[in-house]
Structure 1
Amino acid sequence: MATIPIVVKHQGTKYDIEVDPESTGEVFKFQLFSLTGVEPERQKILVKGGQVKDDTPMSKFEFKPGQAIMMLGTPSQEVLARPKEPIKFVEDMTEAEAAQQEGATPAGLTNLGNTCYLNSTLQTLRAIPELQNALAKYEPQSASTAGLLPPLDLTKQLRELYKYMSETQEAYVPHAFLTALRTAFPQFAERSRTGHGFAQQDAEEAWSQIVTQLRQKLRVKDAPDTPETSFIDKYMQGEFTSQLECDEPAAKEGGELPVTSKETFLKLNCHIDANTNHLRDGIANGLSEKLEKRSEALGRDAVYTKTSKISRLPKYLTVHFVRFFWKRETQKKAKIMRKVTFPLELDLVEFCDDKLKGMLVPVRDKVREVRKDEEDIERARKRRKRNATGEDEADIPGGKGAKKEDKKDEKKPSTSADGDVEMGETYKTDAEIDAERDAALLAAKKELNALIDPSLAKDDGANQSGLYELRGVVTHQGASADSGHYTAYVKKTAPVDAKTGKRKEEDGKWWWFNDDKVSEVTADKIEALAGGGESHSALILLYRAIPLPSAEGTTE
């Protein structure tokens, strides 16, 4: 069948084009793409008898020679460019280059004899990118001033360990770090009482000792002209405002006033009792405690209640499930098996004091509003994409049964006698609708940025919304701290887009580090770590403050 010459109008320009009646709308759209630069998925072609879709036979429209039709749409801003660097194939990469590629499996750690407690701790701490950056800049003191030989500097050995792990996908043997740990803390060199080799240790104790060493040695500067501060104090230390008050009314009547104090913390404890079902219950238990001390008003010892509220939330929050206790009968640390669930996203605003709560609540609420807007926009774009392929037409903007608000102020076009389209009102293209929604979203993000209290905005090592996302979990399997097995789960970090420089969306999957074995698992595996038996249960949780969108619309 012969082609038919028609005219396509687009943004004031007319294009002569030959239409093959035996072809499809997809072919026609690519013809227009070559002329206008508007990608096929961004084109809206208005023809008497309906829109041109990819699978529409062009014979359906019965074009007449010289007939004019209209196309709406604008090209995207993406520009194809030649790669700045030549493409390098995996087979030609070094081991270090291959280890740093997108999707590369991270290195595991070899078990050197009951060292799973250490391997799981190291893998979870490695999930803090700021820690790795600070370690890369760390320079140990000389042996004469530090009192230690350089190989025994725990912070230096951690720097070297993470450096080597970043350059391989094979299991790494942490001999040097283990030697430094046992030198600094001889408890980890304890020999097994039941056989040869070293004894199993508590991962929480290893975590605490490593963090304590880093707190003393690893320091960072916000700017060249600012003083140094401890990395741990900046990123992992919180603060309590506590009130101590006697339980007996007679003390108050005798003039004894509650005592208010401030103290720092490096982890929140989740205390587990018969009523603890969720992480929130355990944290609440840990913020209220009873103690006995002398009351001057009563002239004797009395019971006091210490109630704590959080007055600073760190960017990285450690939560410890207090599952182990000393059992006199067996002279061992026994394990509390109770199931305690925990969220992938944690809201700690309710545990903050009134001053901090007043700063966090407006930001937290705006974050949730912005998230909903982002989800709505993404959902609308996906519906339009399905519409372009003819799927789910009743549930897409502009399709049958679509809501009027999907496209505002639109009217059906009329057709002149010569078949040309006469527009009563200008249609909004998908690109224009996207631009309007993106502008509204950017305005909301700027409003969110303005809500951040200036004192919090200056503290980039603090949480500015009260919301956290789970990034790592240390687990324990077994009934005793002196036995069993530790592993770690770390959430996969999305790679950076080479074109935009922005981080891509995460896929929600996790790495499971079981000593030298590393495998990818889905989020439902994390939800199964609530405990309830001798299977793997969470012992340490590492949360990170959720990233906030900046005033420029990017994520900080």
Structure 2
Amino acid sequence: MSILVNIKWNKTQLNDIELDTNQDVLTFKTQIYAMTNVPVDKQKIMFKGKILKDDSDLPSMGITAGTTLMMMGTPEGGELKKPEVVQKFVEDMTPEERAKILHEKLGVTLPAGLENLGNTCYMNSTVQCLKRVNELKDALKNYQDNQPGYDQNKVMAMAAKKLFTDLDFKGEPFAPMNFVQAMRMVFPQFDEVDDHGHHKQQDAEECYSNLLTAFKNSLKLSEEEGGDLVEKLFGIELENTVTNSENKDEPPQHTKETQLRLSCHIDNNNNPINHLAEGLKISLCGDMEKFSDTLQRNAVYHKESKINKLPSYLTIQFVRFYWKKESTLQGTKAGKAKILRNVTFPKVFDLYDFCTDELRKSLDLGREFERKLREEEDNRRLQGKDVEMADESKQDDGKDKEEEKKLVINKKKAQQEEEIKVSDAMLYRPHGIGLDTGHYQLIAVVTHKGRSADGGHYVGWVHQSGDDWLQYDDDLVSTVKTDEILALRGGGDWHTAYLCIYRKLEVTK
């Protein structure tokens, strides 16, 4: 039997709808779907406050002709859709989400520390400093293993890819477990343990050299780009001249070699070194003994090295650790010892005096251009001071001094911020755009704290922007100023510079 009923749906009234009481509710819903576009599973039909189930017996429910049924449901296409991007407030984001947003939107990287996994501070500090070499970091993050077969260098490159990516996007301290395991597998010396099964402290410079060697063998460029990324970034081409000190008639020997770092010797036969330049000079020249073809015996030769090609990044190791012989008189055993002497190093280091004559000629062009730019900048600064003095004299004529002071302060602050942006852009822009001057600016330092070479603690110090630096003490990250970095010169048990990384400065208009 069929009857006519009414349906009230939200603000819509549907009248004279045919209802076959011999059919079930599900069939009736299908009929309503054709009229309202509300899916069957989304319909809720109510009679006398009760929801009709799909298998309800209609005749027994007392529905008669003219009855008004209530319906709830949303038609297809009218549903509330979940937003494609859920808006989140910064305070509700995880550190990793904040780091990703800042990196993508502003190009800002939230510093992330590395947890110490058992005397791994030597590795943590080294990695944080290498991360400041933008070209190396980007190459590792984009590294693709396209060659079949197992290779230890590829293992380190893939582990470094994950580590540097995590350092950019984690936004909080984390355990570099994958990288540590890879390094200990590829370089077994870093897997050495003591009698109690604890991993021993290792040398940060050894870690630095091994990592660069692994990256050198895996990060290859095209022939047009230079072929070898690590050598292109860190390679220092030296021109060596060896002369026989006992036979000046013997022709000098000229050779070339490439190194990835220079050494700053501190102890020069009990003639202490006070400055980086002094120690570097000693390391680039010295006497040695070898066989002389002209004298047919061993003779003393003098070797002097000059830089023939400047690297993009200059790494200098302070030779603070040495092997100390056993002394029965002092009651000491043989082993590594540390030189605590105070050795200063500059923010900007000039390599001009360490270069070959040929290289100096090309540097002279850049240095002359730099001198002219400096004179122009000095003139602009003097003109700016004249304007400030004129403004101050106007204040004395009765103007609102407080307002004028605020304007001057805000103007100076804006100028300083702009100068920092320009300075950072000049420091970290791609090389090859300007002229070389021989000047390098400090961007990272690895320090060692303590008197023992087999113990102590390593910390990484990395330039951030302007006068601001980041101190990476394993998982703890704090900010410091340049003056605090230059105070890491040694002379006691405090943090002492062990590795310094400088970036080449180029001059352009």
Instruction: State if a TM-score over 0.5 links the two structures.
Output: yes
Q: For 1:303 and 1:220, locate their aligned partners in 2 and report how far apart those are by CA, in whole Å.
A: 42
Query: What corresponds to 1:531 in structure 2?
Result: 490
Q: What is the one-letter code of the residue matched to 2:245?
A: D
The answer (yes or no) to whether the contact 1:292–1:303 under 8 Å persists in 2 is yes
Question: In the TM superposition, what whole-angstrom CA distance separates every residue of 1:403-450 from its partner, at most 9, and x where no partner exists?
Answer: xxxxxxxxxxxxxxxxxxxxxxxxxxxxxxxxxxxxxxxxxxxxxxxx
How has the CA–CA distance of structure 1 residues 147 and 162 changed in structure 2, closer, same or farther, with 3 Å as cutoff?
closer
Aligned match of 2:313 in 304, 308, 316? 316
The answer (yes or no) to whether the contact 1:120–1:513 under 8 Å persists in 2 is yes
Query: What corresponds to 2:165 in structure 1?
Result: 163
Query: What corresponds to 2:457 in structure 1?
Result: 485
Q: What is the one-letter code of the residue matched to 2:311?
A: P
Q: What is the one-letter code of the residue matched to 2:199?
A: F
The answer (yes or no) to whether the contact 1:246–1:303 under 8 Å persists in 2 is yes
How has the CA–CA distance of structure 1 residues 393 and 213 changed in structure 2, closer, same or farther, with 3 Å as cutoff?
farther
Aligned match of 2:191 in 189, 192, 196? 189
Deviation at 1:227, TM superposition (A): 5.8
How has the CA–CA distance of structure 1 residues 133 and 96 changed in structure 2, closer, same or farther, with 3 Å as cutoff?
same
SS at match of 1:531: coil
The answer (yes or no) to whether the contact 2:431–2:506 under 8 Å persists in 1 is no
The answer (yes or no) to whether the contact 2:460–2:471 under 8 Å persists in 1 is yes
SS at match of 1:479: coil
How has the CA–CA distance of structure 1 residues 210 and 104 changed in structure 2, closer, same or farther, with 3 Å as cutoff?
closer
Whether 2:432 is the aligned partner of 1:460: answer: yes
Deviation at 1:351, TM superposition (A): 0.5
Query: What corresponds to 1:291 in structure 2?
Result: 288
Deviation at 1:179, TM superposition (A): 1.0
Whether 2:339 is the aligned partner of 1:339: answer: no
Aligned match of 1:235 in 208, 233, 236? 233
Aligned match of 2:473 in 509, 514, 528? 514
How has the CA–CA distance of structure 1 residues 275 and 292 changed in structure 2, closer, same or farther, with 3 Å as cutoff?
same
Query: What corresponds to 1:271 in structure 2?
Result: 265
The answer (yes or no) to whether the contact 2:244–2:300 under 8 Å persists in 1 is yes
Count of residue correspondences:
381
How has the CA–CA distance of structure 1 residues 304 and 166 changed in structure 2, closer, same or farther, with 3 Å as cutoff?
same
Aligned match of 1:353 in 351, 356, 360? 356
Query: What corresponds to 2:322 in structure 1?
Result: 325
Question: In the TM superposition, what whole-angstrom CA distance separates every residue of 1:19-53 from its partner, at most 9, and x where no partner exists?
Answer: xxxxxxxxxxxxxxxxxxxxxxxxxxxxxxxxxxx
The answer (yes or no) to whether the contact 1:463–1:545 under 8 Å persists in 2 is no
Q: For 2:351 and 2:357, locate their aligned partners in 1 and report how far apart those are by CA, in whole Å.
A: 13
Deviation at 1:479, TM superposition (A): 1.1
Q: What is the one-letter code of the residue matched to 1:106?
A: P
The answer (yes or no) to whether the contact 2:348–2:439 under 8 Å persists in 1 is yes
Aligned match of 1:300 in 281, 297, 301? 297
Query: What corresponds to 2:181 in structure 1?
Result: 179
Aligned match of 2:248 in 252, 266, 284? 252
Q: What is the one-letter code of the residue matched to 2:238?
A: F
Q: What is the one-letter code of the residue matched to 2:212?
A: V
Q: For 1:98 and 1:461, locate their aligned partners in 2 and report how far apart those are by CA, in whole Å.
A: 31
Q: What is the one-letter code of the residue matched to 1:316?
A: Y
Q: For 1:392 and 1:293, locate their aligned partners in 2 and report how far apart those are by CA, in whole Å.
A: 77
Structure number with larger C-alpha Rg:
2
How has the CA–CA distance of structure 1 residues 276 and 227 changed in structure 2, closer, same or farther, with 3 Å as cutoff?
closer
Question: In the TM superposition, what whole-angstrom CA distance separates every residue of 1:449-493 from its partner, at most 9, and x where no partner exists?
Answer: xxxxxxxxx983998220000000000001122000000111113
Q: For 1:391 and 1:187, locate their aligned partners in 2 and report how far apart those are by CA, in whole Å.
A: 71
Question: In the TM superposition, what whole-angstrom CA distance separates every residue of 1:345-378 from its partner, at most 9, and x where no partner exists?
Answer: 0000111000001110221232243134235424
The answer (yes or no) to whether the contact 1:105–1:518 under 8 Å persists in 2 is no
The answer (yes or no) to whether the contact 1:315–1:463 under 8 Å persists in 2 is no
Deviation at 1:157, TM superposition (A): 0.9
SS at match of 1:284: helix
SS at match of 1:220: coil
TM-score (norm 2): 0.69
The answer (yes or no) to whether the contact 2:442–2:502 under 8 Å persists in 1 is yes
Q: What is the one-letter code of the residue matched to 1:156?
A: M
Aligned match of 2:443 in 431, 456, 471? 471
Q: For 1:229 and 1:115, locate their aligned partners in 2 and report how far apart those are by CA, in whole Å.
A: 32
Query: What corresponds to 2:507 in structure 1?
Result: 548
Q: For 1:351 and 1:266, locate their aligned partners in 2 and report how far apart those are by CA, in whole Å.
A: 16
SS at match of 2:503: strand
Q: For 1:234 and 1:392, locate their aligned partners in 2 and report how far apart those are by CA, in whole Å.
A: 56
How has the CA–CA distance of structure 1 residues 325 and 548 changed in structure 2, closer, same or farther, with 3 Å as cutoff?
same
How has the CA–CA distance of structure 1 residues 391 and 242 changed in structure 2, closer, same or farther, with 3 Å as cutoff?
farther
Aligned match of 1:130 in 131, 135, 150? 135
Q: For 1:102 and 1:379, locate their aligned partners in 2 and report how far apart those are by CA, in whole Å.
A: 35
Q: What is the one-letter code of the residue matched to 2:260?
A: L
How has the CA–CA distance of structure 1 residues 125 and 147 changed in structure 2, closer, same or farther, with 3 Å as cutoff?
closer
Q: For 2:117 and 2:395, locate their aligned partners in 1 and report how far apart those are by CA, in whole Å.
A: 57
SS at match of 1:460: coil
Q: For 1:120 and 1:462, locate their aligned partners in 2 and report how far apart those are by CA, in whole Å.
A: 31
Deviation at 1:509, TM superposition (A): 1.3
Bigger strand fraction: 2
Question: Which one is further off, 332-341 or 93-102?
Answer: 93-102
The answer (yes or no) to whether the contact 1:118–1:203 under 8 Å persists in 2 is yes
The answer (yes or no) to whether the contact 1:349–1:361 under 8 Å persists in 2 is no
Query: What corresponds to 1:384 in structure 2?
Result: 387
What are structure 2's unaligned runs of at least 5 residues? Answer: 1-86, 327-332, 398-429
Q: Percent identity?
A: 38
Question: In the TM superposition, what whole-angstrom CA distance separates every residue of 1:163-206 from its partner, at most 9, and x where no partner exists?
Answer: 0110122112111111111111100000024x441000000000
Q: For 1:92 and 1:206, locate their aligned partners in 2 and report how far apart those are by CA, in whole Å.
A: 39
The answer (yes or no) to whether the contact 1:117–1:201 under 8 Å persists in 2 is yes
Deviation at 1:91, TM superposition (A): 3.8
Q: Structure 1 residue runs of 4+, over 6 Å off?
A: 389-394
Query: What corresponds to 1:120 in structure 2?
Result: 125
Question: In the TM superposition, what whole-angstrom CA distance separates every residue of 1:140-169 from its partner, at most 9, and x where no partner exists?
Answer: 24452x445x9x710111111010110122
The answer (yes or no) to whether the contact 1:234–1:461 under 8 Å persists in 2 is no
SS at match of 1:120: helix
TM-score (norm 1): 0.64
Give the root-mean-square deviation of aligned CA atoms: 3.0
Query: What corresponds to 1:217 in structure 2?
Result: 218
Q: For 1:153 and 1:334, locate their aligned partners in 2 and report how far apart those are by CA, in whole Å.
A: 34
Q: For 1:294 and 1:386, locate their aligned partners in 2 and report how far apart those are by CA, in whole Å.
A: 72
Q: What is the one-letter code of the residue matched to 1:208?
A: S
What are structure 1's unaligned runs of at least 5 residues? Answer: 1-86, 395-457, 494-505
